[in-house]
Amino acid sequence: MSAGAINTPQLLMLSGIGPADHLAEHGIAVIVDNPNVGDHCMDHPAYMINAETTAKGTLHEAQSPKWLLAYLTRRTGLLTSNVGEAGAFFHTRSGDAAPDVQYICAPAYFYDHGFRTYPTPAVTIGCSLIGAQSTGHVRLRSDDPKAKPAITANYLKEPEDMQAMITAVERAREILASAPLRALVGTEIHPGRDTSSRQALDKIIRREVEHTYHPACTARIGTESTGVVDPQLRVHGVQRLRVADASVFPAIPHGNTNAPTVMAGEKAAIMIAAAS
């Protein structure tokens, strides 16, 4: 099964593999009672700092016939941008083996998953909490396979997650206020200079936190009491069923999730081939 960290636990639960009491709420016969199915849901919460810029050549200009033509005829120009043109990884706290924050920087305005627009050129430093500890869960809304599952993200539930996020925002501000960016950066749009104390940042981040589309860990590798699949990715309690997607991570990687998911798929293929 490779339906992703939201739909894999949904399908398992619809098939009778999941928390017995929750399945009973929806009249689903229990095949395996496993409360770990859909649990431990992790992601990388994110907050986007945006500031106006006087720099030329930002993606504000990209949506013009000139750049469309350059791209279509010569594969050059602003539309060749990958948007996230610069990045950084760093620690906000000691004790983590890997950095807990990732910056994704864009020569463009980006907020609310891209739903909002801004009338003038801007830059973004996206603060992604790759070392997040908070966990949520995926549950069923009904026994109808076409119904969307219920997702409780619980971003920033753990206090240390919020502290790391606030520190990430403060450091991003320092970067924007340092040379060479200082000369090109103007008014801060989000969170805005009025939001300066850590308490004020806590409030706005909690209200406007986004995520980086990296759900994981909802059918994690573990024992029968701590996980959903064994290290061979076999679902506990049933035969001939494996999970190969981002659900199986025991904890979310401190970095983007696509490559680790591909790795899980490759590894699953090798194990299935070896077993057949």
Ligand X SMILES: Cc1cc2nc3c(=O)[nH]c(=O)nc-3n(C[C@H](O)[C@H](O)[C@H](O)COP(=O)(O)OP(=O)(O)OC[C@H]3O[C@@H](n4cnc5c(N)ncnc54)[C@H](O)[C@@H]3O)c2cc1C
Active site residues: 214
Interacting residue with ligand X among 166, 188, 257, 268 (CB under 6 A): 257
Looking at beta carbons only, is 3 or 20 nearer to ligand X?
Answer: 3
Q: Which of these ranges, 30-38, 152-160, 187-195, 250-258, lies near ligand X under the rule CB under 6 A? A: 250-258
Using CB under 6 A as the binding rule, whether residue 4 contacts ligand X is answered as: yes
Kindly indicate which of the ranges 126-134, 191-199, 219-227, 251-259 contains the residues binding ligand X, using the contact rule CB under 6 A. Answer: 251-259
Nearer to ligand X, 80 or 258 (CB): 258
Is there binding between residue 128 and ligand X (CB under 6 A)?
no
Query: At closest approach, how far in Å is the CB of 145 from ligand X?
Result: 7
17 binds ligand X (CB under 6 A): no
In the complex with ligand X, which residue's Cβ is closer, 72 or 238?
A: 238
Task: Give the interface segment with ligand X, choosing from 30-38, 66-74, 174-182, 256-264 (CB under 6 A).
Answer: 256-264
DSSP assignments along the chain, one per residue: --SHHHHHHHHHHHTTEE-HHHHHHTTPPPSEE-TTTT-SBB--EEEEEEEEE--SS-GGG-SSHHHHHHHHHHS-SGGG--S--EEEEE-SSSS-SS-SEEEEEESS---GGGT---SS-EEEEEEEETT----BEEE-S-S-TTSPPEEE--TT-SHHHHHHHHHHHHHHHHHHTSTTGGGTEEEEEES-TT--SHHHHHHHHHHH-EE-S--B-TT-B--TTT-SB-TT-BBTTSSS-B--SGGG-SS--SS-SHHHHHHHHHHHHHHHHHH-
Closer to ligand X by Cβ: residue 116 or 203: 116
Min. distance of Cβ 243 from ligand X in angstroms? 9
Determine, following the binding rule CB under 6 A, whether residue 81 of this chain makes contact with ligand X: no
Residue 92 within binding range of ligand X, rule CB under 6 A: no
Compute the distance between CA of residue 128 and CA of residue 124 in angstroms, rounded to an integer. 12
Length reported for the chain: 276
Task: Choose, by CB under 6 A, the member of 36, 50, 53, 261 that binds ligand X.
Answer: 261
168-227 positions binding ligand X, by CB under 6 A = 213-214
CB of 265 to ligand X, least distance (A): 7
User: Is residue 246 part of the contact set for ligand X (CB under 6 A)?
Assistant: yes
Please count the CA atoms within 13 angstroms of the CA of 188 that sit on its side-chain side: 20
Residue with tokens 């753990």: 158
Using CB under 6 A as the criterion, which residues of the chain lie in contact with ligand X when the complex forms? 2-5, 7, 11, 213-214, 245-246, 256-259, 261
